[in-house]
Structure 1
Amino acid sequence: MNVIRNYVFRLYPTSPQRDRLTAMLHDHCELYNAALEHRREAYRRAGASIRAVEQMAELTDMRAARPDQAVWSFTSQQQTIRRLDKAFKAFFRRIKAGEKPGYPRFRSAHRFDSVDFRHGDGIKFDATKSSPGHATLRVQGVGVIKVRMHRNLPDGAKLGQVTVKREGAGPRARWYVALPVEVDTAPLPETGRTVGVDLGVAHLLTASEPIPDLTDHDGHAPNPRHARTATEKLATAQRALSRCQRGSNRRRKARDRVAALHGKVRRQRVDGARKAALALVRHADVIVLENLQTANMTKRPKPVPNGDGTFAPNGAAAKSGLNKSILDAGWGVLVNAILVKAEEAGREVVFVNPANTSRRCARCGHTAAGNRVAQAKFECLACGHVDHADRNAALNILRAGTAHRDAA
């Protein structure tokens, strides 16, 4: 089975190279915004739609008039135009689907963090002339950058699109190169197991049965709470940022510190999600998950007016704490990691309706809100079955997924 696997390696540019990479992002951001302005004005003044091909044809004249833009790869600038074109296509698709349109917006240089290339045209990745675990990346206008390889590319890998991206800002920023490669993966041996997984806050997940290297004997996987662990450092950095004058160098450095802390939390969350997903796909052939709508679950509660200009308590403070815990758990990151690992391993992922999974008895099927005695305790009012609430939910999810597959 052939899948596209993204190999991401960290770059170690020198200080001058880091400045050139930053300048490259800035110039591509300027190009993106200029192309967007071109489209906006053409439609506003004449009702004309500008195509990506027409804007690419103007790049030659632009590069002749702007020597600073001509330093960079012509193909990478074409890719930036295509990037804007994809944004417009997504905009029109959302309009046809009746969704919130989300018109393409101008990009800030601080938030334009990646540039796409075509390998061999303005960029070249080379791992043959370096020592094991190291490679080089030659970027037009920047030079030869050192690359650390934590894993090898597959033999005979053909490189197409190459993305250079930045994480963070300033001297604390990390630079990476992303190489999508088509690889031939062999499915893992079948285990004959189907597992139901309940995502939670007290525990990151609870499985319907213990999973080696992931859960305890009760099926619980601990929630690392990376954001909560970094709360004190983040709060200190945010306070320092709020005291700085806008536009000052101190504010820029303080902003970089905040970005670096958030970047560390994100990397920890992604790493944990990938390890958990790998343990799941190694253990079971079929993984059953709830089809959770995290965006809806983390909405703020609506105010409750009393009619006299005041508002009744609506539990906003408690809901805010729950929302932070849900987002810190990173359910979406974990589900995406499971989908990616399952595709590579030839496993099946089934999504079921989450309604009443925590209120239904896994033994007799009785459903009632009173069955949930406490956050962690389930006690059926009909048959007296007692279990951990999350484990009971995982068994219900497993049963619903099995029924769904049998019906299909």
Structure 2
Amino acid sequence: MTRKAFKYRLYPTQPQRKDLERTLALCRRLYNAALQERRDAYRKAGKTVNFYEQKRGLPEIRADLPEYRRIHSQVLQNVIERVDKAFQGFFRRVKQRGKAGYPRFKGEARYDSFTFPQAGTTGVKLQEGGKRVLIHGVGSVKLKMHRPLEGEIKTATVKREGDQWYIIFVCEVEPRPLPESDKAVGIDLGTNPNFLVTSDGEMIEAPRYLQKAQAKLASAQRSLSRKKPGSNRRRKAQRRVAKLHRKIANQRKDFHHKIARRLVNRYGTIVHEDLNVIGLARSRTAKGVLDAGWGQFLKILAYKAEEAGRRVVGVDPKHTSQDCPVCGHREKRPLWVREYTCPRCGAPQHRDVAAALNILAKARTEPAGMGTDKSVPLEPRSPVLKNEESSQRGVVTLPLIGGEG
């Protein structure tokens, strides 16, 4: 059994919006109070307050503060669990000698969701065949169920995104693997002009949603900068900017889902570069990298492949754009050179297709620790160039580009 998330849009009425906002505000207050209690206990008495001690204090809070009685007890328990997870992450990072990041208090804009940990039995109930959902403390809210739920509901999270509300059901579903496939492909990720190029020669153009919306976004941000802090006009301008960013993010995610699904349906093994996306996002190419969303795409590809019984492998990206996939000759070339002829073997190459072929070849020649199956065959192509030097370099003998690719 695996767990899968289903996200649906909610359409609350104005009174229901106020109830949702109130629930978020009370959960945020409880989060900050639990965090303050842990900080004070350690600073003043050197004592560590754990999850169960704070959880046992919830009935007393509900008795003393009537406003908390309308919130489901399990939602409040989840708030305490979030504080505990924040401290667990802090202590883990301290042990790893990384940037510790002590848990922070949550401002109004930094607490956007509350969770029913046992939504399958309490707190949330679907009504009218999925047209409405009954949320404890809020009432019956209109729901747009654009796709059917699968499996058994385990948790439900109500989330605010800008001025819109969503509910996310996490369900336990039976895995549905696709038929086995021995087809393998290497993919080379890019930013301009192609988002992705495969070792089969397929090129998928980069949509560059942020770049296309840049003029509208700049206008909205200039308008926001002129508004008086705390005014209604500033809040309206903030919502406009947030709406534009949300649209860009949704377009990008939709594109990633469709490309990942196409690859998973077509290939049994997908090999990609094990990129340091965080590092690239801090370089001079940051804007293009973030617009392409490589990190999100690779995560979506990985979970879709796991669900379908496919395999995704990351390999070292070093020299993949410099080596000839036919003879292994290595030569640095400027980025503007997209097509070239190998000076050693004379094979015509496209830079990105050659990189994708090298990525696929690395999955066969790198150490077994990469988790690749060396028995996965390549599709036959012709003509094929063989030489002793390619085997000495550890490069799989591959065909010239130009046949069917």
Provide the TM-score with structure 1 as the length reference.
0.87
Q: Which residue of 1 aligns with 2:263?
A: 280
Q: Which residue of 2 aligns with 1:7?
A: 6
> Take 2:223 and 2:248, find their aligned partners in 1: how far apart are those partners?
19
Q: Which residue of 2 aligns with 1:314?
A: none
> Take 1:282 and 1:226, find their aligned partners in 2: how far apart are those partners?
25
> Take 1:102 and 1:373, find their aligned partners in 2: how far apart are those partners?
38
Q: Which residue of 1 aligns with 2:184?
A: 194
1:8-407 map, 5 Å: 8-117=7-116, 118-119=118-119, 123-127=123-127, 129-130=128-129, 134-154=130-150, 157-168=151-162, 173-202=163-192, 203-209=194-200, 218-300=201-283, 319=284, 322-370=285-333, 372=334, 374-404=336-366, 405=372
State the 1:226 CA deviation: 0.9
> Take 1:121 and 1:252, find their aligned partners in 2: how far apart are those partners?
38
> Take 1:296 and 1:60, find their aligned partners in 2: how far apart are those partners?
47
RMSD over equivalenced CA pairs, Å: 1.6
Residues 124-162 of structure 1: per-residue CA shift (max 9 Å, x gap): 2214x33xxx432212221111111111123xx322211
Secondary structure of the 2:252 match is helix
Provide the TM-score with structure 2 as the length reference.
0.87
> Take 2:264 and 2:189, find their aligned partners in 1: how far apart are those partners?
16
State the 1:120 CA deviation: 5.8
> Take 1:120 and 1:224, find their aligned partners in 2: how far apart are those partners?
39
> Take 2:122 and 2:373, find their aligned partners in 1: how far apart are those partners?
53
State the 1:256 CA deviation: 1.0
Residue type at the aligned position of 2:195: L
Q: Which residue of 2 aligns with 1:306?
A: none
> Take 2:199 and 2:299, find their aligned partners in 1: how far apart are those partners?
20
> Take 2:278 and 2:325, find their aligned partners in 1: how far apart are those partners?
28
Q: Which residue of 2 aligns with 1:313?
A: none
Counting aligned pairs with the same residue, the percent is 42
Secondary structure of the 1:160 match is strand
Kept in 1, the 8 Å contact 2:156–2:169? The answer is yes
Residue type at the aligned position of 1:205: L
Say how many residue pairs are matched: 368
State the 1:192 CA deviation: 1.8
> Take 1:338 and 1:360, find their aligned partners in 2: how far apart are those partners?
26
Residues 19-58 of structure 1: per-residue CA shift (max 9 Å, x gap): 2111111111111111111111111111110111111111
> Take 1:10 and 1:403, find their aligned partners in 2: how far apart are those partners?
47
Q: Which residue of 2 aligns with 1:214?
A: none
Say if 1:116 and 1:379 are closer, same or farther in 2 by CA, change over 3 A: same
